[in-house]
Chain A
Amino acid sequence: MTFDIVEFLESIVNLAIFDYLSEIWADDLPSWLINGVSDLAGVLIICTFNLLIVLFLIWFERKIIARIQDRIGPNRVGGRYGLLQSVADAMKLMTKEDLTPAGADKIAFNLAPLIVVIAALMMWAVIPFAPGVIGTNLNVGVFYILAISSVSVVALILAGWGSNNKYALLGAFRSVAQLVSYEVPMIMALLIPIILAGSMSTQRIVIEQSVWYVFVVPLSALIFFISALAELGRTPFDLLEAESEIVAGYHIEYSGMKFAMFFLAEFIATLFMSALFATIYLGGWRGPGAVEYPILGLIYFSLKVFFVYFMFVWIRGTLPRVRIDQLLNLNWKFLVPLVLALILVVALVDKLMVNADDWTRAAALLLSNIVLGLVALDFVRRHARRQRLDADEVELVEESVEAQPVSSAAH
């Protein structure tokens, strides 16, 4: 096959550029070289894209938060929209002095920023960007994501311990407690789409979503979203860092580019969680004409991802921070029991409706979700009311106890 510019451009539109090039070079070059180079190029494209989009994400987030808080936000560097603000910030971070505290464990201290960024980038391998465009279509895709995300917890301990600072270590303990706790409802919430799709492969889950899972199992989507907020340490669960209250967390001793690495990982992970939410609950690249023209799929997927990212930012701009006991109570006493009940209900309903068509099945599941959600809310409401009544009773008793000596003194 010879090179043809029209076909080459066509392959770009179809997102099949590597397939086209390997067809052309198939006669001249050995296949392992072509496969190796195209795999490497894919890795480079995904990683570079992620590292660069962070600059945009920071600007996007600052701008939106500013609008929510009735401010203007960055508006000086790079035109009236401040588009180059994060580029300037990145330059500043790169030129800052790189400090290593005295007595720090150098191996752990330097390894931690590397591991967080690598782990954040590795998770992108199983995200389907468009039909046929996926790093690697693992049959254990979702499980792979969970495995990699558990590795980043290790980096936090390394950072906290390596810094030789008691505040950093305490911060690391706090972070690990939060991340490990919220992993539980997140994993179980992800189990529900897996039950419905009958596969752990992310590509398969997208293909099976003739009805978006957010409309089939909204409770699972909600629980996943809440746990993702906590896993990412974003408001209202940002007590790992809580910049307005305490002196940062595990990364207190980091400066310059190493500090920036933690932030980089945080933004990449947030974008990744948006992508995962879009893939699993919003139908990924699905949309009219996506299968015929993969580039449309890519556009749909990007729109969905940025919509979810916007939700993350929106929540950050709206909700106040919770306390640590509220955070853990919400997890262990509400989300975990709810998601366990949800798994039972979904598995049962799905099994009962096994012969029904997609839409009936989706409607039944949606109904069961709504009922379960209402029951859970009612349960919480009653519990809160009982607690309020108990608190009032205690207050009354205390008042009567206080009142007694006063009355006796009057006699």
Chain B
Amino acid sequence: MTITFQQIVFIAISAFTIISAWIVVTNRNLFHAAIALMASFAGVAGLYILLEAGFLAASQLLVYIGAISILIMFAIMMTRRLMQTAESPYNLQWKWGIVAAFLIFILLAVLIFQTWPADTYAAPPVQSPAALRGSVTDLGIALVSVDQYVLPFEVASVLLLAALVGAIVIAWPEDDR
């Protein structure tokens, strides 16, 4: 079995993502953990690019790194004692942790092998350039078609609007209400 260039890139990006995720949960300095979390998000964006899902990758960067990470960093900066905790990030449940991780691994492996049998997953998915070019258009149409996702899309918008109004009401000065 020869390793293609795409597979080398995949392994590199995955290793980067996993190592950053590892740092997120083990590092005691919360600020460094937040930086590592951003690196992990960026790694996931890289995986999306590898799967030729450009729109998803750009959304990942815009939403997770551009907005959520900044929110997390602000939260960390506003919290005083959290910066250098003395307590260890490890606990004593590692035995049960191993069992749970093993079970999840088996579950995922079974699912993946059922969806993509061993002889098909080695080759990267080949898509026609026309299909790729249209993918954003298809997504846009799918979000507003009645027989597709218009209802979830609108429900999500109403939910966000409610959250927006709620945030404004909460932030409003008490005496002006």
Q: Which residues of A contact B (CB under 8 A)?
A: 32, 36, 105, 107-108, 111, 138-140, 143-144, 146-148, 150-151, 153-154, 157-158, 161, 169, 176, 180, 200
B31 beta carbon closer than 8 Å to chain A: yes
Q: Are A140 and B136 in contact (CB under 8 A)?
A: yes
Question: Could you say which of A36, A107, A139, A157 contacts B73, with CB atoms under 8 Å apart?
Answer: A157
Residue contacts A-B, CB under 8 angstroms, 19 given? A36-B5, A105-B32, A107-B32, A108-B35, A140-B55, A140-B58, A143-B55, A144-B54, A146-B58, A146-B62, A147-B59, A147-B61, A147-B62, A150-B67, A154-B38, A154-B69, A157-B73, A161-B73, A176-B70
Q: How far is the CA of A151 from the CA of B69 in the complex (A)?
A: 10
Q: How far is the CA of A148 from the CA of B73 in the complex (A)?
A: 18
Q: Are B31 and A161 in contact (CB under 8 A)?
A: yes
Q: Are B73 and A153 in contact (CB under 8 A)?
A: no
Q: Are B31 and A148 in contact (CB under 8 A)?
A: no
A105-B32, A139-B54, A139-B55 given; 13 more Cβ-contact pairs under 8 Å: A139-B133, A139-B135, A140-B55, A143-B55, A147-B57, A147-B66, A150-B62, A150-B65, A153-B70, A154-B69, A154-B70, A157-B73, A158-B35
Q: Which residues of B contact A176 (CB under 8 A)?
A: 70
Q: Which residues of A contact B58 (CB under 8 A)?
A: 140, 143-144, 146-147
Q: How far is the CA of A41 from the CA of B54 in the complex (A)?
A: 23
Q: Which residues of A contact B112 (CB under 8 A)?
A: none
B132 beta carbon closer than 8 Å to chain A: yes
Question: Could you say which of B66, B74, B136 contacts A139, with CB atoms under 8 Å apart?
Answer: B136
Q: Are B66 and A151 in contact (CB under 8 A)?
A: yes
Shortest CB-to-CB span from A243 to chain B, Å, is 25
Q: How far is the CA of A157 from the CA of B77 in the complex (A)?
A: 10
Q: Are B135 and A148 in contact (CB under 8 A)?
A: no
Q: How far is the CA of A161 from the CA of B34 in the complex (A)?
A: 12
Q: How far is the CA of A147 from the CA of B46 in the complex (A)?
A: 13
Q: Are A140 and B54 in contact (CB under 8 A)?
A: yes
Q: Are A153 and B66 in contact (CB under 8 A)?
A: yes
Q: Are B70 and A108 in contact (CB under 8 A)?
A: no
Shortest CB-to-CB span from B65 to chain A, Å, is 5
Q: Are B65 and A154 in contact (CB under 8 A)?
A: yes
Q: How far is the CA of A16 from the CA of B69 in the complex (A)?
A: 41
Q: How far is the CA of A169 from the CA of B77 in the complex (A)?
A: 10
Q: Which residues of A contact B5 (CB under 8 A)?
A: 32, 36
User: Chain B: interface residue count, which band?
Assistant: 20 to 34
Shortest CB-to-CB span from A182 to chain B, Å, is 13
Q: Closest B-chain residue to A115, C-beta based? A: B38
Q: Closest A-chain residue to B65, C-beta based? A: A151
Digit string of B20-45 for contact with A (CB within 8 Å is 1, else 0)? 00000000000110010010000000
Q: How far is the CA of A83 from the CA of B66 in the complex (A)?
A: 39
Q: How far is the CA of A180 from the CA of B35 in the complex (A)?
A: 19
Q: Closest B-chain residue to A150, C-beta based? A: B66
Q: Are B35 and A111 in contact (CB under 8 A)?
A: yes
Q: Closest A-chain residue to B77, C-beta based? A: A161
Q: How far is the CA of A384 from the CA of B59 in the complex (A)?
A: 40
Q: How far is the CA of A107 from the CA of B39 in the complex (A)?
A: 13
Q: Which residues of B contact A32 (CB under 8 A)?
A: 5
Q: How far is the CA of A200 from the CA of B59 in the complex (A)?
A: 14
Q: Closest B-chain residue to A146, C-beta based? A: B62
Given A32-B5, A105-B31, A108-B31, A148 and B61 contact (CB-CB distance below 8 Å): yes
Q: Are B38 and A150 in contact (CB under 8 A)?
A: no
Q: Closest A-chain residue to B5, C-beta based? A: A32
Shortest CB-to-CB span from B106 to chain A, Å, is 36
Q: Closest A-chain residue to B53, C-beta based? A: A140
Q: Closest B-chain residue to A158, C-beta based? A: B35
Question: Could you say which of B54, B62, B65 contacts A138, with CB atoms under 8 Å apart?
Answer: B54
Q: Which residues of B contact A146 (CB under 8 A)?
A: 58, 62
Q: How far is the CA of A105 from the CA of B83 in the complex (A)?
A: 12
Q: How far is the CA of A151 from the CA of B59 in the complex (A)?
A: 12
Q: Which residues of B contact A107 (CB under 8 A)?
A: 32, 35
Q: Are A154 and B66 in contact (CB under 8 A)?
A: yes
Q: Which residues of A contact B65 (CB under 8 A)?
A: 150-151, 154
Q: Which residues of B contact A158 (CB under 8 A)?
A: 35
Q: How far is the CA of A146 from the CA of B31 in the complex (A)?
A: 25
Q: Are A151 and B136 in contact (CB under 8 A)?
A: no
Q: Closest B-chain residue to A136, C-beta based? A: B54
Q: Which residues of B contact A157 (CB under 8 A)?
A: 70, 73-74
Shortest CB-to-CB span from A336 to chain B, Å, is 13
Shortest CB-to-CB span from B55 to chain A, Å, is 5
Shortest CB-to-CB span from A124 to chain B, Å, is 16
Digit string of B106-146 for contact with A (CB within 8 Å is 1, else 0)? 00000000000000000000000000110110000000000
Q: Which residues of A contact B77 (CB under 8 A)?
A: 161, 169
Find the residue from B59, B66, B74 having the highest chain A CB count within 10 A: B66
Q: How far is the CA of A200 from the CA of B140 in the complex (A)?
A: 12
